Structure 1
Amino acid sequence: MITSKPTQHPGRPLVARSSAARTHGADSSRDASSDDVLYRGLESDGLREALRTRLVPLDLRVTGRTVAASDIRVLHRGELSAFSVRCGADMEIHIAPDTPAYLVIVGGTGRGHIVSDQVTVPLFPAVTGPGRRVVIALAADAEVTVLRLRRTTVEAMAYQRFRHPRKTPLRFAERMDPLDAQVRQWLGLVDRLCGVARSQKTQRPLAATAHLERVLVNGLLEVQPLVRWHRPTVDDAQAFCEPRLGTEITVRDIAEAVGVSVRTLQAAFREGLGTTPTAHVRDLRLARAHASLLAAAAGRHDGGVREIARQWGFWHLGRFSALYRSSYGQLPSHTMRFGTGS
């Protein structure tokens, strides 16, 4: 089952998918050229093969029953490629650290999330790449637009820009901020690339699209921070928090345990994960509570909702229920009774 997160987070507006994803949404599939369709059907083997062949080497695991046909379409071909992926079942896409490409999920609809080296971030917009173990969890209602950037292309440009060591994976911060003006401008360029590609889909990539591809790769290097100096701080903070999720943890507690100032800790989380230490601890607690509720639904946990909430550091049941519903789209009592996706 997918522990899917919706695209809306407490205190933040719904993340709008890019117009590239809107243009190539469910309604437009009727008009898509058959040459654009890589796969359409109900069989997981066909979907797995299409994703492996055109996206990256991966392991596809279907975790729920099939409720509709899955669909993969090409939006752009070139050094940088764009695809529309529509799911017909809950599924997980597992990507190994030796992947030959960087993937950017630029927009979409539906539920899902990304786990990158045990760090969970919203489904889109987000960046994954070589050097980390990645799981992309998609619910049956998900449709996403995925940008594929060749590793050699990205790392060559990174070397030209700031002498990043050749053949060394770039570690982008996984989460992109959809409210950041530069990020929004970059997403707009993705829309433009797909628009140019649609107007030239019977031709090989021309100078206009090749130029846009270079601009997009350079733009990603410009707008999306690289995790460099702050990663050890974040790793140490996570190691401190993980066994203490059922107790009270303050930002100052974490900073003292890691040996940095509160300001440095906050900067590390902001630049490395795109969040705050408090929000990250809350999300970890919600994930543990979700797992306990699923265990209760399967008869492997004896506690009720209140006991599970307190077990993972939520002392106010009403607030826990509201946070849980915002993250998982249903009340904790519903998960305990039916499990996810019921």
Structure 2
Amino acid sequence: MSVGSDAPLPYPAGQNSSFWETAYSGTDPDALSEILSTSASPIKAAAQANSSIAYRCNFVSAGDLTIADCAYDGAISLRREAPSSKVIIFLPVEGNAVFDAGQEPIHSVPGRGAILGAGRATGARLLGSRRHLGLFVDQARINGQLTHMFERTITGDAGFLPHFDLTAGPGLLLRQLVANLYRGLGGGGLLQESPLAVSALCDAAIFLLLETFPHRYSNELALPAPAPAPRHVKWAIDFMHAHITEPISLNEIAMAAKVSIRTLQQGFRQFRNTTPIAYLHEIRMVAARRDLVEPGAKPAVADVALRWGFTHLGRFAAEYKKRFGELPSQTLKR
């Protein structure tokens, strides 16, 4: 199915409501802006030098993972007007593109994949005829997987290196995996009949990225897995999460873990590389950020800080900025 750019309509892929497929085509830059934008991250498309353009964009979504097959003709500039929460992987088939992301532009050509970290890409230029597959993954999903792998909270950009080889090794495997997912889900494909298979393939794509593509945590992932934390550390962590909004003390945490304070501190140093109180502070800070980025009604920063036990607003703001790279008020404005 393809619809004109003046009336883009999403529709469920097949009969399974967990999959969505959309198809657009047209020549209007303003309509292209709407197609590529989200409510949180608008994109402005323009034809360079008032030249004529054409585009065809098909999207297939499975949960928090989306695959795009897009073709463009003409010189097109794209400007992202607010940061995206997605990590975007481009798998070029034809033509050139240049992405603005940080100090150095990222060139995307056939045989060479490109990874744009969440919030990094500010614009792009598509030069002539261009076609690519795109894989869009929520940064939160990547961080959730890293959190599970490390057994500690991971937030922020994973810091993937922007370029990778598509002709061999992990890059070739990723291209084949994404292409198979797209074919299997689009147009009533057979994968729609097996949500478990789709989930496994999506997980495979995430693990492939984390385990074989260089990023900020690659060296740590290459180390031998640490010994499982002893029961008293797990009991302490469970107690913290169960009473995260309450003013619990180190002594109460140790009592819940059925060990002395000294043994508890030693266990956290050995198995979490931190202290019990620092760990509690960390999970409360992450919970506060989750409240601030939650869509819908926006609470006051002071209310969020107090809810999670931060009574000194100025200190909370300073520690929040150190932890997440921005002030709580800036997060709230997204």
Alignment of 1:67-106 (within 5 A): 67-95=52-80, 98-106=83-91
1-structure distance, mates of 2:154, 2:82: 17
Higher relative contact order at CA 8 Å, sep ≥6: structure 1 or structure 2? 1
Q: Is the 8 A contact 1:48 1:59 kept in 2?
A: yes
1:122 aligned partner, one-letter code:
H
Query: CA 1:199 to 1:89, structure 2 compared with 1: closer, same or farther past 3 Å?
Result: closer
| Distance in structure 2 (CA, Å) of the matches to 1:210 and 1:93 | 32
Judge conservation of contact 1:114–1:120 (CA < 8 Å) in 2.
Answer: yes
What secondary structure sits across from 1:167 in the alignment? coil
Distance 1:199 1:94 in 2: 31
Report the residue type matching 2:90 in the other structure.
I
The alpha carbon displacement at 1:104 in A equals: 0.4
Q: Describe the superposition over 1:277-300 as per-residue Cα deviations: whole angstroms up to 9, x where unpaired.
A: xxxxxxxxxxxxxxxxxxxxxxxx
**Structure 2 stretches of 5 or more lacking a match?**
1-8, 12-20, 220-334
Matching of residues 17-166 of structure 1 within 5 Å: 36-53=21-38, 57-95=42-80, 98-123=83-108, 124-162=112-150, 165-166=153-154
1:221 aligns with one of 210, 216, 223: 210
Output the amino acid matched with 2:67. A
* Paired residue total: 198
Partner-residue secondary structure (3-state), 1:111: strand
Bigger Rg, which one: 2
Q: Is the 8 A contact 1:104 1:147 kept in 2?
A: yes
Q: TM-score, normalised by structure 2?
A: 0.52
- CA-atom RMSD in angstroms: 3.1
Give the partner amino acid of 1:223. Answer: T
Residue number in structure 2 paired with 1:167 = 155
| Aligned counterparts, 1:275-286, within 5 A | none
Contact 1:59 1:93 in 2 (8 A): yes
Separation in structure 2 between the aligned mates of residue 57 and residue 106 of structure 1, nearest angstrom: 22
- CA shift, 1:211, in A, is 1.1
- Return structure 1 stretches of 4+ with deviation > 6 angstroms: none
Cα 1:181/1:102, change in 2 over 3 Å: same
Please tell me the residue identity of whatever aligns with 2:128.
Answer: A
How many angstroms apart in 1 are the aligned matches of 2:42 and 2:118?
12
Equivalent position SS for 1:125: strand
Could you say which structure has the higher strand fraction? 2
Consecutive unaligned residues in structure 1, runs of 5 or more? 1-32, 231-342
1:5-16 equivalences in 2 (<5 Å): none
Letter aligned with residue 93 of structure 1: L
Q: 1:178 maps to what in 2?
A: 166
